[in-house]
Amino acid sequence: MQPFTAKAVQVIRSIPEGKVMSYGQVAAAAGSPRAARQVVRILHSMSRKHNLPWHRVVNKYGEIAIQEDESSFEQRALLEEEGIIFSIEQRIDLTKYSYYPSEEDLMNRIQDEQ
């Protein structure tokens, strides 16, 4: 696994229940702020294999970016089960629900998995 990919997987795993991060936030926390599209590919190809909380990653507007209806509905349902509330515009209030992992959070997550 490439270093950025490994770090992005760790960041995604660190997102706690009831919080979200944008693709760009994940990329920045993994060390490459301009790699949001790479985060999309990581989620698409590795979510099942690495049991990632894929549903906690949204676009920069707090919207579900998945276009396919069934998966979009599933993501929304999973987020609502965690207590996240959507606005009438179908957006998540990122000032309330965004997660900003510290380096300590990420290191603790790595240690928990070992």
Mean pLDDT of 18-24: 96
Residue holding tokens 């998945």? 66
- Strands 21-22 and 57-58: what pairing? parallel
Domains and their CATH numbers in the chain: 3-101 (1.10.10.10)
Give the whole-number percent of the chain exceeding pLDDT 90: 82
pLDDT value of residue 102: 77
Of 46, 37, 35, which is closest to residue 12 (Cα–Cα)?
A: 46
Of 64, 53, 50, 71, which is closest to residue 92 (Cα–Cα)?
A: 64
37-51 core/surface letters (b: 16 or more CB in 10 A; e: else): ebbbebbeebbeeee
Please provide the average confidence, as pLDDT, over all residues in the chain. Answer: 90
- With cut-offs at 50, 70 and 90, classify the pLDDT of residue 110: low
Cβ-based neighbours of 16, under 8 Å, separated by 6 or more:
99
pLDDT digits (tens, 9 = 90+) for 26-71: 999 999 999 999 999 999 999 999 999 999 999 999 999 988 889 9
- With cut-offs at 50, 70 and 90, classify the pLDDT of residue 21: very high
For 84, how many CA atoms within 13 A lie in the half-sphere containing its CB? 31
